[in-house]
Amino acid sequence: MTGLRDDFLWGASTSPHQVEGNNLNADWWALENAPGSPLPDRSGDAVDSYHRYPEDMRLLADAGLNAYRFGFEWARIEPTDGEFSRAERDHYRRMVDTAHELGLAPVVTLQHFTLPRWFAESGGWRRPDAADRFARYIEFVSPALRDVDWVCTINEPNMLAVFANLQETVLSAMGGQDADAPEAGQAATELATALAHVRPDQALGDTLAQVHRRAVEVVRATTNAKAGWTVAQQSFTPTPGNEEVFERVHRVWEGFYLDVARDDDFLGVQAYTSQPVDANGPVPHPDHPDNSLTGWAFRPDALGISLRRAWDEAGGIPLLVTENGLATDDDTRRIAYTDEALGHLEAAVADGVDVRGYLHWSALDNYEWGRYAPTFGLISVDRETFVRTPRPSLAWLGARARRDGLR
């Protein structure tokens, strides 16, 4: 008896830029391909999921999962200001159809870190008409969402607010690193350290909240889906005597965004690790052999902390775990991490937290924003041949889903 709902979603997640390949009109593509770009890897063909999504979805369904979170790519759908592609909308509609045919509930993200280049280069979210432009894009894609039950507007607005103040630090932390070289681990640690010292841009957070409110209205008016956004939670905990700093850090990094979700239909919870907060703010993860390939502490309990906090602070709206996973080259660690994380999820449910599903990050190894080295996939991909090889963790998650209740 796990107490999970009969319609609990068991699945995995991806995002367009990280798996599709050749996302030519996106701001990230421009950044990766700029002369002297400090990003060690370019996304290039990624893992060609743009063409191979039927195979990817079939692997998830065959393993016994019943949900897949993927994104619509704004930069493909509106590659030029005001020029909307019906062919690209049809492409994403085919993805929705394929998911349904395979018995996978589609969970669709409308914006996952990347922006159309024209939009980014003219001010991005800081454009005065940002909410209108995003709303116009959603209105255009809404026919493709007609039988989708779950729509995420913006992925991790709080990380967008972090990145806004971080770009230079991150780029120099990652700069000049060959992702396959031994120093790649060092780059991950430096990146994690840089992230610990940055302060999210609250003005951008306020803007994103307005953009999101408008987007939720449009999704509700034009589809039957539940609308929400996804928030990255670092599961901060105070060190003794630093409760006030913790409160401030938590508020600006994530509390604000959990609060905004109160008026939504659900909240996407994304948790990977937990970080203490001392007098100076978030403490960088100390070096440890168990740290993941992104330099994060191995903390499966983060999921329980994040779910409980989200439940308290977003006013008791339904929660969907839209990301949780581990970057590792040892699949037994991925299984151990996920097993423990699910134990924390089930304990939260037993305590009354309304959790509607668990979507593992990630279905496939993918482009981890500048590098291919951190492998998060339940399925590994040979990037020369694009051959997919499910890892044991995929079958394990399917079996766990059957054990713990699958409709």
The site for ligand BGC (CB under 6 A) is made up of 15, 18, 155-156, 159, 232, 270, 294, 323, 361, 368
C-beta of 155 vs 306, nearer to ligand BGC = 155
Q: And the tokens for 293?
A: 């390939």
Instruction: State in angstroms the smallest separation of the CB of 18 from ligand BGC.
Output: 6
Instruction: State in angstroms the smallest separation of the CB of 40 from ligand BGC.
Output: 15
Whether the link from the prior residue into 122 is cis, omega within 30° of 0, is: no
Instruction: State in angstroms the smallest separation of the CB of 17 from ligand BGC.
Output: 8
C-beta of 159 vs 277, nearer to ligand BGC = 159
Rg (CA), the chain: 20
Instruction: State in angstroms the smallest separation of the CB of 16 from ligand BGC.
Output: 10
C-beta of 141 vs 152, nearer to ligand BGC = 152
The alpha carbon dihedral of 349, 352, 357, 362 has a sign of: negative
> How long a stretch of residues is the chain?
407
Cα 330 to Cα 129, 202, 264, 290: the distances in Å are 46, 38, 38, 11
Instruction: State in angstroms the smallest separation of the CB of 398 from ligand BGC.
Output: 22
- SS3 (DSSP) at 32: helix
C-beta of 93 vs 383, nearer to ligand BGC = 383
The alpha carbon dihedral of 306, 96, 10, 19 has a sign of: negative
Which backbone phi and psi does 325 adopt, to 5 degrees?
175, -170
> Which residues on adjacent β-strands are paired with residue 227?
151
C-beta of 32 vs 368, nearer to ligand BGC = 368
C-beta of 65 vs 359, nearer to ligand BGC = 359
C-beta of 70 vs 361, nearer to ligand BGC = 361
Instruction: State in angstroms the smallest separation of the CB of 273 from ligand BGC.
Output: 10
Distance CA 123, CA 134 (A): 13
Tokens 């929400």 belong to residue = 228
Q: How many CB atoms lie within 10 A of CB 6?
A: 7
Residue in 214, 385, 192, 370 with CA at minimum distance from that of residue 297: 192
C-beta of 18 vs 242, nearer to ligand BGC = 18
Q: Evaluate whether 305 touches 347 at the Cβ level (below 8 Å).
A: no
Which backbone phi and psi does 33 adopt, to 5 degrees?
-100, 5
Instruction: State in angstroms the smallest separation of the CB of 296 from ligand BGC.
Output: 9
Identify residue 10 by its one-letter amino acid code.
W
Distance CA 152, CA 226 (A): 9
Tokens 């168990």 belong to residue = 290
- SS3 (DSSP) at 227: strand
Instruction: State in angstroms the smallest separation of the CB of 373 from ligand BGC.
Output: 12
Exposed e or buried b per residue across 63-95, where buried means at least 16 C-beta atoms within 10 angstroms of its C-beta: bbbbbbbbbbbbbbbbbeeeeeeeebbebbbeb
Instruction: State in angstroms the smallest separation of the CB of 20 from ligand BGC.
Output: 13
C-beta of 242 vs 323, nearer to ligand BGC = 323
